[in-house]
């Protein structure tokens, strides 16, 4: 699980991709939890919180409260 500091060092595209991946993971965990159960049910909670964390970082960037890293990489 990435911390907020680590997320803010990513570019917007990277955070959006991570949100997409984590959203798919959450969906699969939810389905698996309802059909066969999970060996570690806390993974569902962790995944939900990570999705919320990613959405928060994107919203803060949109509103200008905390900027994400720019797309230009330094060598």
Domain range summary for the chain, segments of one domain joined by +: 11-63
pTM given for the model: 0.85
Residue 72 has phi, psi (to 5 degrees) of -75, 130
Work out the mean pLDDT of the chain and round it to a whole number: 90
- Answer whether CATH 1.10.287 is correct for domain 11-63: yes
* pLDDT at 52 (0 to 100): 96
Residue 15 burial by CB count (10 A; 0-12/13-18/19+): exposed, middle or buried? buried
Q: For residue 69, what pLDDT band results from cuts at 50, 70 and 90?
A: confident
Q: For residue 24, what pLDDT band results from cuts at 50, 70 and 90?
A: very high
């Amino acid at each position: 699980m990435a911390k907020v500091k680590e997320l803010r060092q990513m570019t917007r595209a990277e955070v959006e991709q991570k949100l997409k991946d984590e959203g798919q993971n959450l969906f699969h965990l939810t389905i698996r939890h309802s059909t066969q159960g999970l060996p570690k049910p806390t993974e569902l909670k962790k995944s939900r919180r990570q999705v919320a964390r990613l959405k928060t970082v994107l919203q803060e960037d949109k509103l200008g409260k905390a900027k994400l890293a720019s797309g230009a990489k330094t060598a």
